[in-house]
Amino acid sequence: MMQDRNTAVSPVVGVMLMLVVTIIIAAVVSAFAGGIGTEQHKTPQVTVAAKSVIQDIQGTTSPDYPWDLTYPDGYTAANGVRFENTGGDTFSLNDIEIQLQTGDTSYTIRPTDKVRASDDPDYKCVLPVGISNGGYFQKVGNTSVSDRMIAPGDMFMLYADGNSKEVTYSGGYGYYGPKISWRPQGAENGFSVYLNTKVQYKIIDLGSGRVMTSGELIVA
């Protein structure tokens, strides 16, 4: 009696084909989903030029309390760091944070950080007239607070909300030169940069958490 050796072949081949097709479909769907995710969280690529802007420093500070700042009546100043998008993608000031670093000390300013009131008893702040959105990032030449887009050729400021002249601290802490500083509302600590000091910066995309661009400058 002869046996049919092909009886079980067709079902096995069919199952294998179904598995292969299933694997291919799963791979295509995974690749497609991954592509969409990458596109949604694509980090903007930009080139920027950074320059410190020191308009005026009139703040004075106590030798015992370096954050106890005092300014002349009606005093305002446009001090800080000016960035220019010299090429690359357009991005929103609402979608970035800026990290500053001197030595081993770094500090991050976010678009949600708010400037303290000018009469805050814990930290007097000073900003130029016209900063109406309560934040530290401001488009240069912008006439509309709602316009937060920075295209190639546009500039924006990271305004410093504090400054002080040189001071000799008591208790043997020594002499410190003039500086600009940041201390957002609700922050326990601030960040100072002394004039003629090198500062590293990173502009970070909030959507991806990646660095868009970085560099350094001398605050002077």
User: Which residues touch 135 (CB under 8 Å, ≥6 apart)?
Assistant: 111, 112, 113, 114, 115
At 48 the pLDDT is 97
Claim to verify: residue 71 and residue 1 sit in the same structural domain: no
Claim to verify: residue 50 and residue 121 sit in the same structural domain: yes
Provide the domain count of the chain. Answer: 2
Question: Residue 115 pLDDT > 50, yes or no?
Answer: yes
At 202 the pLDDT is 98
Claim to verify: residue 20 and residue 122 sit in the same structural domain: no
Claim to verify: residue 9 and residue 117 sit in the same structural domain: no
| Helix ranges restricted to H, the chain | 9-40
At 209 the pLDDT is 95
Claim to verify: residue 126 and residue 207 sit in the same structural domain: yes
Q: What is the pTM of this model?
A: 0.77
Residue whose entry in the numeric block shows the structure tokens 């002394």: 194
Q: Which range of residues forms the domain containing residue 18?
A: 1-40
Mean pLDDT confidence for 141-145: 70
Claim to verify: residue 95 and residue 115 sit in the same structural domain: yes
At 37 the pLDDT is 47
How does pLDDT run across 65-111, given as a tens digit for each residue?
666 788 888 888 899 999 999 999 999 999 999 999 999 999 999 99
Residue whose entry in the numeric block shows the structure tokens 């305004």: 159
| Nearest CA-CA partner of 12 in 24, 20, 23, 2 | 20
Residue whose entry in the numeric block shows the structure tokens 């009546």: 73
At 167 the pLDDT is 80
Claim to verify: residue 168 and residue 116 sit in the same structural domain: yes
* Mean residue pLDDT across the chain: 83
User: Which residues touch 155 (CB under 8 Å, ≥6 apart)?
Assistant: 82, 83, 84, 85, 139, 140, 141
Claim to verify: residue 31 and residue 53 sit in the same structural domain: no
How does pLDDT run across 172-215, given as a tens digit for each residue?
566 678 999 999 988 888 899 999 999 999 999 999 999 999 99
